[in-house]
Amino acid sequence: MKKILLEKLLEKCREQTYQKQYEYIMNLLEEEKIKPVKASRLNGKSPALYREYWVLEEKKDYSTYIEELRYEIVPDISVDYYLRHLESYEADRTWVLELNQYLKNKKKTLQFKVSVNERSFEIWGQEKFLSRGQGKRILNRCGLELSFFNIYETTEPLAYYSLTRNIPQNLLILENKDTFFSMRRHLLEGNEEILGIKIDTLIYGAGKGIFRSFEDFDLCVEPYMQAEGNQIFYFGDLDYEGIGIYENLAELFNEEWKIIPFMAGYEKMLDKAVKAVSIPETKERQNRNIKNIFFSYFSTERIKQMKEILEKGRYVPQEILNISDF
């Protein structure tokens, strides 16, 4: 809103009587085109007028949108939000109408589960629409959950190497890439065991990336890796973050798999750490809120060794081991 002086408003009727000028101002007030700035005080004439006014923005006619929302939008889409915020409907209308057309004409396709990007393109012609803030905001305003669209998130394909397809078999998840490559080389050279444990398949976990990859474990891997009786081991850095990754992974998937620490690997790391000239300081901002799941697999002596390292602000990276140790 901007201010305007009474004299400026009266320029169009300057030659008319004061009574006519007064009526002109009253008409503008009734039409809600202006409102008085009461702090400006009256002009001292009779009938009195304020010396300054606010110029009001003209109200937009949204009657067409109201009719559209009430009578043309399918029941699956809630119109409550947009009826209360018509300016938002004007901004979102293109996307809402495209969704409306899809639900009118192609709703049967929702019976087929597809990826987020595939469904997004099917409805809006933009594969990233649902994964962006704008798409999620519009769904929220329409009262729809992502689950309504029968979609799934896709993950990076799980990187793994299998020495054998025997079942049951031992699978070893590795937090870091270097250790994955070194152990893979070890198996490719004709070895079947790593630190005395027979390992059939190595899986590259990519740190916290394992959480998303493992959600689609059954879709990403071959049947022999899912076979009943298989044992999954986890091996990562000996620090708060590495232990936390293991504990969260074991808890998240405990109904499908019993994932246990690769104890032989951690014990070998500890033995080398004792002999090392120095070990690195713990990285900053690590979440130190670990439970007792990891430590419960180790002896009292090993737990003491690990806790001493952690409490001194140090950690043991997986890379302390190389192919000569396996």
DSSP conformation letters of 238-274: BSHHHHHHHHHHHHHTTTT--EEE-HHHHHHHHHHHH
The predicted structure's pLDDT at residue 95: 95
- Helix H or strand E segment including 134: helix 133-141
| pLDDT reported for residue 19 | 92
Contact of 204 with 180, CB cutoff 8 Å: yes
Phi/psi for 259 (5° steps) reads -100, 125
Instruction: Kindly report the number of other CB atoms within 10 A of residue 79's CB atom.
Output: 20
171/202 Cα distance (integer angstroms): 6
Instruction: Give per-residue pLDDT as tens, 103-140.
Output: 999 999 999 999 899 999 999 999 999 888 789 999 99
Give the Cα-Cα-Cα angle 162, 166, 172 (nearest 5 degrees).
45
- Domain ranges (residues) in the chain: 2-55, 63-152, 159-325
Predicted confidence at residue 292, as pLDDT, reads: 85
Rounded CA-CA distance 234/242 in Å is: 10
Report, in this order, helix, strand and coil percent for the chain, each rounded to 5.
50, 15, 35
- Per-residue confidence (pLDDT) for residue 42, from 0 to 100: 92
pTM for this prediction = 0.62
pLDDT at 157 (0 to 100): 73
Residue type, 130: L
pLDDT value of residue 52: 94
Residues of the chain with pLDDT under 70: 155
In degrees rounded to 5, what are phi and psi of residue 31? Answer: -80, 0
pLDDT for the residue numbered 193: 94
Give the per-residue pLDDT at 202.
Answer: 95
pLDDT of residue 268: 94
Q: Are 186 and 155 in contact (CB under 8 A)?
A: no
Closest CA to 238 of 201, 204, 270: 270
Q: What residues contact 77, with CB distance under 8 A and at least 6 apart?
A: 96, 99, 100, 103, 142, 143, 144
* Three-state DSSP class for residue 102: helix
Span 163-189, pLDDT tens digits: 999 999 999 999 999 999 999 999 999
Angle of helix 300-311 versus helix 263-275 axis, rounded to 10: 60
Distance of CA 224 to the CA centre of its chain: 32
Beta-carbon contacts of 148 under 8 Å, excluding residues fewer than 6 positions away, are 76, 110
Longest CA span, the chain? 109
pLDDT at 231 (0 to 100): 94
In the block, residue with structure tokens 């419960």: 296
